[in-house]
A = this chain, B = another copy of it.
Amino acid sequence: MQEETTTLANKVCELILKDIVTGAIGQGQKLNEPELARIHGISRGPLREAMGRLEAMRLITRVPNVGARVVQLSYDVLLEIYQIRESLEGLAARLAAETMTGEEKLSLRALLTSHHKHLLDTQGQSYFQQEGDVDFHYRIIHGSKNQRLIDMLAGDLYQLVRMYRYQFSWSSNRPQQALKEHDQICSAIEESDGELAEWLMKRHINNARNNILASMNHQKHPNLEKYHE
């Protein structure tokens, strides 16, 4: 059994990451180094390293000699991210269709089946659906076998996507439609039809993007009250 050798900076980074994603540390909030260090019971050295990684993920922004703040979420940035997701996950879907093993494909199908069951049970609901969606996309991303692509999507970009999910609390208001689209993508992958998988994935994400655009007009700036601490 390989005991995960890790470092203080690593552990604290994950803790703060979770707090930022879930909103325990709100958007735009200042990160005070001595305070954060005291809270987590470490010194400022490792804490600053952790903050460096959060900055690299673009969850916080730092200004020299001034300090770090959690990013401000906005519809504009969210749309930017979905443009990128459309391109990159389209690519991932194509590669996945071309390189996924039979075992991986079976596992992906099993995941969809369980989603389908849960959707029937719960009348299409929220938290599971959200994380389930993340799971599905994760599988395909990793199925691409392109390590750089995996790092970009699953490592960095998805933390932001999850942050939006939590804090804009938009539960894909079309779960059955999304599941159907997942099903189509899965089928294309099963048939090793890379071109189709890519096209379906891009349309799937573009649909989600249009969904965001539509909700922008109804409900402007959902979390505006959380501007500053």
Give A residues with C-beta under 8 Å from B: 5-7, 10, 45, 48-49, 52-53, 56, 58, 64-65, 77, 80-81, 83-84, 86-88, 90-91, 95, 146-149, 151-152
A111 CA / B151 CA spacing, docked (Å): 34
Contact (Cβ within 8 A) B152 A80: no
Contact (Cβ within 8 A) B83 A87: no
Q: Given the known A-B contacts A48-B49, A52-B49, are A84 and B80 also in contact in the complex, defined by CB atoms under 8 Å? A: no
Contact among B84, B90, B146, B151 with A148 in the assembled complex (CB-CB below 8 Å): B84
Contact among B6, B65, B87 with A91 in the assembled complex (CB-CB below 8 Å): B87
Contact (Cβ within 8 A) A84 B88: yes
Chain B residues, CB < 8 A from A151:
58
Chain B residues, CB < 8 A from A147:
77, 80
A52 CA / B56 CA spacing, docked (Å): 9
- Report how many copies the assembly holds: 2
Chain B residues, CB < 8 A from A45:
45
A225 CA / B55 CA spacing, docked (Å): 36
Contact among B56, B65, B91 with A83 in the assembled complex (CB-CB below 8 Å): B91
Chain B residues, CB < 8 A from A95:
83
Q: Given the known A-B contacts A49-B48, A56-B56, are A146 and B84 also in contact in the complex, defined by CB atoms under 8 Å? A: yes
Chain B residues, CB < 8 A from A80:
146-149
A57, chain B: closest CB distance, angstroms: 8
A179, chain B: closest CB distance, angstroms: 26
A80 CA / B144 CA spacing, docked (Å): 10
Contact (Cβ within 8 A) A56 B58: no
